[in-house]
Structure 1
Amino acid sequence: MKTNHLFQKTIAVTILFLAFLSVSAQKVPYAPTTAELTEAYKRAARLDTALRNIPTNNEIIPLWRKDGLAFWYKKNLPNKNWEYVYVDVATGKRRPAFDANKLAEGLEKANGKKSSALRLAITYLYFTDQNSLKLKSQNKWYEASLNDYNLKSTTDTNTFRYNAKRPLQQRRSRWEWSRSVSKSPDGKSEILVRGGNLLVVDLVTKKETPLSTDGTADKPYGNFDWSPDGKTVVAYKIDPKEIKKVHYVLSSVPGTTRGELKSREYAQPGDDFTSYQPYVFNVASKTVIKVDVEPTDFFGPQPLHWRNNSSRYYTYEKADRGHQRFRVIEVDVQTGKTRNVIDEKTKTFIYESRIYTRYLPKTNEILWTSEQDGWQHLYLVNALTGKQQLITKGNWVVRDIDSVDVVKRQVWFRASGMNTDEDPYFIHYYRIGFDGKGLVNLTPEKGNHVLSFSPDRKYYIDTYSQVNIPAITKLKLTANAKEIQEIEHGQVEPFLNSGVKLPEVFVAKGRDGKTDIWGVVCLPSKMDPNKAYPIIENIYAGPQDSFVPKSFLPASEMQSMAELGFIVVQIDGMGTANRSKAFHDVCWHNLADAGFADRILWMKAMAEQYPNADISKIGVYGTSAGGQNSTGALLFHPEFYKAAVSACGCHDNRIDKQWWNEQWMGYPVGAHYGEQSNITNAAKLQGNLFLIVGEADENVPPESTYRLADALIKANKDFDILSIPGMGHSDGGVYGRRRKRDFFIRHLLNAEPPNANAAAAAK
């Protein structure tokens, strides 16, 4: 018995010892004093300034000579200085574009103002050849020879202006309507609208021919266009609906003693829209046919696309309200009958703003992007038969179209996710044949790429980086993607020497246990290995895009906040864009979801890998949709999120703009709108909430925040609110950001931030 007693005693002591070791191994919560916080604020400001004085050159913008044989670019230097570099593309050799000291002297002589060689005040510069240039400085134009640097004033401002950043073929916004065309193709006739009706005027004889008779001022005809042969007019009978207004009051206009009321048109979900019923008019026979299709009651009349060498058939695009059907409709103007060339339907949503259509009239084909196979891809559609041919395919996403080469039958496009060994959000550039063959990767290097072409597209500039790897810029040959010369190579050492911890990439599985969720982690530069630091999430779960930074980012608000004693993270959860259709569909009728299930799992996994992360103290902040998300974090996940700062949030999707909210929440407006509203759920608040709103917000109406405040007050909830006079859609600016940091220090570090009033008085 005695032996057994000793054994039990030994076990008890061992357990106590192990328990002691376990407790001693735990991190102590970071609990700074006010003095330590004061120093942390100063250190964060110093580091932020130091980082912003180190150049990144994340994007080189070339300014090309007209002959395409050379370009120059402006290179950022330390301490916000800059220089100009000239590149001969045939050899790839780079040199200073000119003697900056001599040009500065020439500018001083020309305009009598002091000029710095490292900060030349040049707003536009153009090389006429390698030894001569034109430049604009202080709103004056000069010609200069690089042989003597003698600047002469000139009124000749004619230069070759080529924007290398602009796509060769710009995508037209679906919110832009087709414009009415008055003049006939031969220029001999013109359409007029009188009393709501259309009439054609012969510009020679002035004879008027009525086309319609049933139009009125209340329901007029309009938005008209001609067939190529001038024999038919396509027009719409319009049923106008008034767009309702929203209002705000400017409380602090200088020189006044009264608030100033501002009002503007602002359609909200469920509001009526103007509708447009298409008709075709035969000018010679004076006959009219109502097109056999329902009215366009969403977006507005879209451009007409006529068959090659035909004035009988045209196509136009129609997106149904509710975002669940998109069509390219062909109309026979002789009969008014229609045929759907493309008819895409979905149980969730079609993201129309991402649809690309390019009409190829000579071959009666359409290039079109769709997510019908679960990923955004390119299709070639026979406009005569409707037959579709998949051009790109795979578990990756076509992000955008740069251009189309009709002669070579090639598409130049951006995509992400094709390379399985890297971040699926990294953008790469490709070209491919209409037949889906001959895929060429113009940007094979690992990283997030930004690319621009020379005017003749013979060469291109490729700049790529990662969030913690500085940018590299290369000059390449378009024909075979061969590298000609490395132009710039960013160095990481200057940033590391500053003491900063560069952002770190972290990946964890999402709610399905399979899908990778990507995010970044910003750590304090002076992190005590024995301390535990609260986590703050920078959230924006708007489904229109993805938001975690992918290019080199040594300085950011997240890093600046981390310096105060936080681990700051940003994550793209399910429901955001640029992954699969299924990944995106999570947001459908479900904006309150905001990817929280993925975000919470990600942060828990991150805390296991980062032992200094205190998973018991989670803060969150966001602006606009992020303002909605951050408040939603407290309301719908109070067991995880403890403090939130929400700026100009869309707290109820019925209050915000129609086009954005119906895209994700659907139409008609159903009970799910209210069920997911922060305002409806205000009584659920448990954590600490700080609301920021600008009184002059013209993006999200300020009443969205004020109604939330009203609901919180009625529910007897404690919260903070900051209304900023005169400010628009913003996170609160410098003042709001400082107040945000103070809020998190109080509620996550349980400390008192420096007294701003006392500090100001001491100056």
Structure 2
Amino acid sequence: MTVRRSSRALALILLCASAAAQAAPDEAAFRRSIGLRRAWQDLTREVAWPAHWTPDGRRFSYRKTVAGGFVFETVDAKTLAKSPAFDTAKLAAALGNARHEAVDPMHLPFAEFDYAEDGKAIAFSLDETRWQCGIVVYRCEAAVDRSRPRGFGVVRDISVPADNSPKASPDGNWTAFVQGDNLVVRKTGDTAIVPISVDGSAGNFYDPETLRWSPNSRHIMIYRVRPGYQRRVLRVESSPRDQLQPKLQSQLYPKPGDAIDQERPVLFDLASRRQTVIDDALFPNAYELSAPRWRSDGRSVAFDYVRRGFGQARIVAVDAETGVAHAAVTEDAKTFVYADRRYAHEVGADGREIVWASERDGWNHLYLIDGRTGAVKNRITTGNWVVRDVIAVDDAKRQIVFAASGMNTGEDPYFRHVYRIDFDGRHPTALTPAKADHDVRFSPDGSLYVDTYSRVDLPTVSELHRSSDGALVATITRGDDSALRAAGFRRPEVFVAKARDGRTDIWGVVVRPHDYDPSKRYPVIENIYAGPHDSFVPKQYWPFGFHSGGDKAIGMQEQADLGFIVVQIDGMGTANRSKAFHDVAWKNLADSGFPDRIAWHRAMAAKDPSYDIGRVGIYGASAGGQSTLNALLFHGDFYKVGVAYAGCYDNRMDKISWNEQWLGWPVDASYAAASGVDHAAQLTGKLLMIVGDQDSNVDPASTMQVADALIRAGKDFELLAVPGGEHSVGRSTGPIDYVARRQFGFFVRELAGEAVPNWNGVK
């Protein structure tokens, strides 16, 4: 059959093809886009990070942006005089010597630090290691953790010896340790060892790392442990940098449903040698027991308990004389207790009262609990808003300082503000009036605080305030991004639309190209992270590593500048809203808030003609990688292209801690319901999966199992396995970021329908 086209139609087709070719990003555009981090990172001034106080409370320090990079500055709280926090050149040299690498003094690889050794040193985290550097004598050392490793906190690695350093009694008369799996003591200055227990064994041993003396030196509590299943994930390191042949890496990695360590608290009376195994009726089937903590009066010892499946959390208190346990406070949930957000403060020396955070009324609030009966004495906070964090509790004044969000009507419900309130819920006082997200740091005596606040459209402001009445003492820094905006940076836009229920507000941000033209149509890319453990749309000033979300932000701007509108959204199932909002994720990880996200996209497209709702792509990493794949599997009519990084695509393959928190225990059909492996045959869009073959967070076999399922289903997809890559896969050290270029090129080719540079032809 012959198809005839008119000369006019043919000319139109050729004209459109020519226009598309001219619009396609070239090599220079890719290089400019991926180079934005380096080109723009030093263009702001006076953008400050949160403050850290010296131990004596006389000064505070912070990092801020200056010409050429960052500096750390110290302010005298009384005189307001400013000076360098330390000699950055000397510290960079000391850190470089310790790490055997060059360190740029204007770009020190940490943003915040704590003071140590009475202000003579600073401590900070770098590459999951805690470092300490002297700032009088400049020398840096990595902290050495001598404790026995635990797989995600629930299975001890019994191939590694525990830290069995003798622990001295508070009165100095005894030391206690474990010998031959049993508890023993030794009188100070004596060589004779006194056995205290005889029932320990290799399969049911006393753990010296849980040993705790009572303040009066009369009692010891220690846990006897029946070890769990020693599951190992094996990874072949194909391309090690220090040898030719591959290496085999092994990691203790418990997964959902695995047998975990069973801990049993045991109480010993030193004088009588009486042993009391604590009745576990109040803490059966424990997922987590915290280390024992003695009340300061020595009459009782307490520990935190989370039931496996996360349906219950409580504080269990044990009488030191009788060994009888009681529930000091209990939290029950029909779905889950969010274990990482639990908060408890025991008032006084005996735990008679407890300040307790609870979602029992549908919002996270504070309650004053009777620590003897577990009953609520009174509510401290109330309302349709969320307590985000407890900053300080003053037992003497019976006051609490806390951060909350959602209290101010007409404002972004995720903005954190700080308040003070009495134990009885009276005299609530707002301390942070500015309409922004606040990070407040109080002096050690609580008399002053530094309020560091910002929004995505407001560079950071840092102020010193008086705590008694919140009065402003001085403005410390005021961020300026005029040079950054002159270079082409567009501040993100905030957009709000209704959720699937037509009532709840869903918040997101929009990033546009630096040369955005409202008369054009732009394909859309969504940056997704829908993990239930937090909310993720940045609320702070965020371009290039400023506070949380900075790394994701630069990726969004980099992609936008290749001709896209890039967005980020918090749908239902994420945290920091009501309990009902959060509960959408319970046993429902496939949801990822997609009905809310799609409604948000459609509302945005209805408002903005440049927003091409017919070309929507998505990308994400880790849980965001799982959501990206599920977008294409379960919502392929809407999401057309996806790039999924290091996804936990089948929650039965992933770490025990994160997955049992949201899908419960025992493992049930909800795990399979969210599986990208089980539903791989539903793929309709274009997919690129990227994984580091040395991922220690998510078993990289999860990615390969999706690949296997897609192949068996006859589906086409792309796969990039990065040799030596970790969970973040990492940005390349080459002349242009390889992994980012592959992601960006995939969207340009498959979503925008444009040609990409022939990188194999580039020298």
> Is 1:277–1:296's contact at 8 Å kept on the other side of the alignment?
no
Identify the residue that residue 5 of structure 1 maps to in structure 2: none
Distance 1:90 1:233 in 2: 46
Distance 1:289 1:42, change over 3 A: closer
Identify the residue that residue 751 of structure 1 maps to in structure 2: 754
Report which of the two structures shows the higher radius of gyration computed on alpha carbons: 1
Out of 723-732 and 699-708, give the one that drifted further.
723-732
Identify the residue that residue 452 of structure 1 maps to in structure 2: 441
What CA deviation, in whole Å up to 9, does each residue of 1:22-41 have, x standing for no partner?
Answer: xxxxx999945366544543
1:278-317 equivalence runs, <5 A: 278-294=265-281, 298=286, 300-306=288-294, 309=297, 311=299, 313-317=300-304
Distance 1:28 1:68 in 2: 67
1:172-187 equivalence runs, <5 A: 182-187=167-172
Identify the residue that residue 662 of structure 1 maps to in structure 2: 660
Distance 1:490 1:120, change over 3 A: closer
Distance 2:536 2:107 in 1: 35
Distance 1:636 1:360, change over 3 A: same
Distance 1:521 1:233, change over 3 A: same
1:162-561 equivalence runs, <5 A: 182-203=167-188, 210-222=195-207, 223-254=210-241, 256-294=243-281, 298=286, 300-306=288-294, 309=297, 311=299, 313-362=300-349, 364-388=352-376, 389-554=378-543, 556-561=554-559
Identify the residue that residue 136 of structure 2 maps to in structure 1: 157
Distance 2:58 2:200 in 1: 59
1:577-588 equivalence runs, <5 A: 577-588=575-586
State the one-letter code of the partner of 1:357. Answer: A
State the one-letter code of the partner of 1:496. Answer: R
State the one-letter code of the partner of 1:319. Answer: V
1:201 shift after superposition: 3.9
1:753 shift after superposition: 1.0
Q: How many residue pairs get matched? A: 678
> Is 1:473–1:487's contact at 8 Å kept on the other side of the alignment?
yes
State the one-letter code of the partner of 2:745. Answer: D
Structure 2 counterpart SS, 1:737:
helix
Structure 1 counterpart SS, 2:757:
coil
Q: Please report the TM-score for the alignment, with normalisation by the length of structure 2.
A: 0.81
Distance 2:700 2:50 in 1: 38
Structure 1 counterpart SS, 2:595:
helix
List runs of 5+ in structure 2 lacking aligned partners. Answer: 1-15, 94-104, 114-118, 123-133, 139-151, 157-161, 545-553, 732-736
Distance 2:627 2:673 in 1: 15
State the one-letter code of the partner of 2:693. Answer: E
Structure 1 counterpart SS, 2:639:
coil
1:464 shift after superposition: 1.4
1:613 shift after superposition: 0.6
What CA deviation, in whole Å up to 9, does each residue of 1:542-584 have, x standing for no partner?
Answer: 1111111111234521112111111100001111111111111
1:122 shift after superposition: 14
1:65-76 equivalence runs, <5 A: 75-76=64-65
State the one-letter code of the partner of 2:752. Answer: L
> Is 1:507–1:516's contact at 8 Å kept on the other side of the alignment?
yes
What CA deviation, in whole Å up to 9, does each residue of 1:246-265 have, x standing for no partner?
Answer: 01111112464422110010
Out of 53-62 and 418-427, give the one that drifted further.
53-62
Structure 1 counterpart SS, 2:625:
helix
Distance 2:49 2:196 in 1: 56
> Is 1:322–1:663's contact at 8 Å kept on the other side of the alignment?
yes
> Is 1:237–1:278's contact at 8 Å kept on the other side of the alignment?
yes
One of 651, 673, 676 as aligned partner of 1:675 = 673
Aligned-pair Cα RMSD in Å = 3.6
Distance 1:157 1:601, change over 3 A: same
1:578-617 equivalence runs, <5 A: 578-617=576-615
What CA deviation, in whole Å up to 9, does each residue of 1:625-650 have, x standing for no partner?
Answer: 11111011000111110000001111
Distance 1:380 1:711 in 2: 52
Distance 2:239 2:344 in 1: 48
Distance 1:40 1:582 in 2: 45
Identify the residue that residue 725 of structure 2 maps to in structure 1: 727
State the one-letter code of the partner of 2:199. Answer: D
Identify the residue that residue 740 of structure 1 maps to in structure 2: 743
> Is 1:91–1:484's contact at 8 Å kept on the other side of the alignment?
no
Distance 2:523 2:758 in 1: 22
1:277 shift after superposition: 2.2
Distance 1:305 1:256 in 2: 47
State the one-letter code of the partner of 2:254. Answer: A
1:687 shift after superposition: 0.3
What CA deviation, in whole Å up to 9, does each residue of 1:367-424 have, x standing for no partner?
Answer: 2211111111122222123232221211111111222222222222222111122111
Distance 1:323 1:690, change over 3 A: same
Distance 2:202 2:34 in 1: 62
Out of 543-552 and 204-213, give the one that drifted further.
204-213
> Is 2:307–2:313's contact at 8 Å kept on the other side of the alignment?
yes
Distance 2:604 2:759 in 1: 34
> Is 1:520–1:571's contact at 8 Å kept on the other side of the alignment?
yes
Distance 1:135 1:719, change over 3 A: closer
Identify the residue that residue 148 of structure 2 maps to in structure 1: none
> Is 1:643–1:744's contact at 8 Å kept on the other side of the alignment?
yes
List runs of 5+ in structure 1 lacking aligned partners. Answer: 1-26, 108-117, 127-132, 137-154, 160-172
Identify the residue that residue 11 of structure 1 maps to in structure 2: none
Identify the residue that residue 709 of structure 1 maps to in structure 2: 707
Distance 1:404 1:243 in 2: 41
Identity %: 43
Distance 1:285 1:46 in 2: 71
Distance 1:199 1:308, change over 3 A: closer
Identify the residue that residue 630 of structure 1 maps to in structure 2: 628
State the one-letter code of the partner of 1:573. Answer: G
